[in-house]
Chains A and B, each alone.
Chain A
Amino acid sequence: MARKAVATQAKTQSNLPQFTPEQDLEAYREMLLIRRFEEKAGQMYGMGLIGGFCHLYIGQEAVVTGVTMASEKGKDAQITGYRDHGHMLVMGLDPKGVMAELTGREGGLSKGKGGSMHMFSNEHRFYGGNGIVGAQVSLGAGLAFAAKYRGDDSVSLAYFGDGAANQGQVYESFNMAKLWNLPVVFIIENNKYAMGTSTERSSATTDFSKRGASFDIPGEQVDGMDVRMVYDASQRAIEHARSGKGPYILEMLTYRYRGHSMSDPAKYRTKDEVTKYRQERDPIEQVKARLLEGGHQSEEQLKAIESEIRAIVTEAADFATNDKEPDPAELWTDITISA
């Protein structure tokens, strides 16, 4: 199918992809966990428990949730930039380990040596957590190269933002990915602002789904605030990559409610814009409304889920607050492996 046809079809489909109540419930849980976790992280940052840079995923939850639901957990690799907490939670990494890494404690996923932007799991096939904008795109192409080299049928899911989409190595990677038909899905999380610079001010063309056109990589724009649309498009893209047809681009139109990082006052956009997204497009509220309106869940049942999730987040925060700092001897470990 031609790229244009796919994009047009996605936009004009009259029969929108639907979720079963079970899928809605799964998405609700995952997205709510991210939301509450990130709110808590923001709070702990404010208290000085988390240092340095801390980029929250609030508002963008539907993207990683929908993509991961369409992927094979534990088999398909995922890699992203520095806004990475949500990816780890949905992929099943321990919230306690994530939060303790944010507070720089020994029980953190990287023993407290990585921080917010640097967490990984070979077991879950999560490769970070990368702090240099755009670097994860080449690395993600490399994960796909390894999959093809081994013939292991896995797909690499490489996330990056609208800001990273203007980095040169992204196009170097697009070229090699198509040249060698690597099984990779490039997921552009377009939240409209690269730190404080809007896509209009940074990009000669703002339809990022077309950025693969000169490499013959198909792409589509997806409503990244609707987890069903994300899931549906991801299924298509992952199947394309897994079947040997090469890379695929998904541009997820999404929005972050918070600043770029905790120390960003977000003066470059209006309050009305943020409020409008929150009130009209919120990914979690959309699912919640469907669950309630369809009579699949009662208010009480959803409240019970909310309590469960709060307990998970509280446990994580508690652990991350009380866990020990790394042993000073850790300063000198994990630099190289002794042969």
Chain B
Amino acid sequence: MPQILMPALSPTMEEGKLSKWLVKIGDTVSPGDVLAEIETDKATMEVEAVDGGTVKELMIEEGTEGVKVNTPIALVLGEGEEVGEGNRPAAQTGSSDPEGQSAVAEAATVPAEAKSSPAAEAPKFTAQNDPDLPEGVEMVEMTVRQALNEAMAEELRRDKDVFIMGEEVAQYQGAYKITQNLLEEFGPERVVDTPITEHGFAGLAVGAAFAGLKPIVEFMTWNFAMQAIDQIINSAAKQLYMSGGQVKAPMVFRGPNGPAARVGAQHSQDFSAWYSHVPGLTVIAPYSAADAKGLLKSAIRSPNPVVFLENEVLYGSTGLVPKMDDFLLPIGKARIARKGADVTIVSFSMGMRYATQATEKLVAAGVDVELIDLRTLRPMDSDTVIESVKKTGRLVTVEEGWPQGGIGAELSARVMEQAFDYLDAPVMRVAGKDVPMPYAANLEKLALPNVDEVVAAVNAVTYRS
């Protein structure tokens, strides 16, 4: 039976000292008995018998330094077992390989070696196009707030596994009134007021999603979701992968993101880049009312965890939304807001307000701007941006978040990698300033991006002054 091998105390240990034998030849040992003590520079550990038997051989003297992992150190034979080549490795690995212990040692190191062939390429994401609207469809003017509210009401009506939970979503009708009237229509079982307990209810919702429900979690603002970010990333985003595709987390985390007005540093932050960093998440940040509705409906139906970043400042802005039974927009598709040939401006969410106003000024001044609204940040529609830059040779990005590691930084890298030869000027980023958000009105204004900065960036990349 077993030949005892020098064990590893950690994945990085290669050798150690056999400091002490606690058995001698002829001793009878039971499973769990301590056979020896070994030590490395980091730790001391006991080697225990896994199987019972009689100690027949001690191959390494105590006090020996530098004993390599997987070196045979002792032989313990069970009842009726005899020393033989065939049974040595079998006891260690359960393998019937007659090659002996060298094969064992080799087998033991296989997983650590980089013997795999190179990894396959990352699958390329291809977004679907927006659906064609039915001819003559009525376009209704509504606020982003109404659009989001309609999206949730329609999906709650459609699927009884969908429910919404969060602080003040029910009786108070929503801190920002996005959940208005939902309690009345769907009842307290499906429109659930929570205590102020972001970490807890985010985790609870993820657990409910594992069990097959489709939660919509409203964070009063994304600033408070910092308390819950572990559950969003470690539990929701990684679950499908960690389970080898078995356990899903079909759910939406949503609420207002980004700077509001005069609320100070802890309540004014854009998390777009943070969440867009994480594989397993889908991240959506709409600007228009139609996109808010069509994308939130698609998000609720998505089998994946979706981070849906709204913007408080945009809740009251209006836009035209098609009046349809089921208006769904594809996740992962950018929208070309204006076609043009001179320069590409890419933005999303509130950044689109600055970008749109800048575009109006620039077009008036004779610059033919192509304006792209990303809408979805992960998966990111690189294709649309790259195609545009190949045409214009110039890119300006606009976002409210901090510049370092931001969405603009990511777009800049992708354009460098995929369209470097087409660039006629360096990519320029317009972003929030690299400071915590100040309270004072004048300082806050300085910290945020603005229309003039976008115009100046476009002038710079088009070499107009």
Contact = CB atoms under 8 A, between A and B. Distances in A.
Interface of A: 36, 39-40, 42-43, 45-49, 51-52, 77, 79, 103-104, 108-114, 118-122, 127-132, 135, 137-147, 149-150, 156, 168-169, 172-173, 175-176, 179, 257, 259, 262-265, 267, 278, 314-315, 317-318, 321-322, 325, 328-329, 331-337, 339
B209 to A, nearest CB: 7
A42 B204 contact: no
Contacts of B93: 47, 49, 317-318, 321
The 9 closest A-B pairs by CB, nearest first: A142-B207, A138-B203, A46-B7, A172-B200, A146-B211, A111-B244, A318-B94, A139-B207, A110-B244
Q: Identify the interface centre among A79, A112, A132, A278: most chain B CB within 10 Å of its CB.
A: A132
A54 to B, nearest CB: 10
B10 A262 contact: yes
Contacts of A39: 31-32, 48, 50
Contacts of B247: 120, 122, 127-128
B120 A328 contact: yes
B202 interface: yes
14 contacts: A48-B112, A118-B243, A121-B246, A130-B235, A150-B213, A175-B197, A259-B45, A265-B9, A265-B43, A314-B94, A318-B94, A321-B95, A325-B111, A332-B121
Interface in B66-98: 69-70, 92-95
Contacts of A331: 119-120
A149 B189 contact: yes
Contacts of A104: 111
Contacts of A175: 195, 197, 200
Interface of B: 5, 7-11, 31-32, 43-45, 47-48, 50, 69-70, 92-95, 104, 107-112, 116-123, 163, 189, 194-195, 197, 199-213, 230-231, 234-235, 239-248, 279-280, 282, 298, 301-304, 331
Nearest to B250: A337
A138 B201 CA distance: 7
A163 to B, nearest CB: 16
B116 to A, nearest CB: 5
A331 B121 CA distance: 9
Contacts of A138: 199-204, 206-207, 231
Contact of B9 (A118, A263, A317): A263
B212 A146 contact: yes
Contacts of A109: 244
Contact of A48 (B70, B95, B123): B70
Given A321-B94, A334-B243, A334-B244, 7 more contacts: A42-B48, A46-B5, A109-B244, A127-B247, A147-B211, A267-B44, A334-B240
B244 A103 contact: no
User: Which of A36, A43, A108, A262 gathers most chain B CB within 10 Å?
Assistant: A43
A30 to B, nearest CB: 17
A51 B11 contact: yes
Contacts of A140: 207
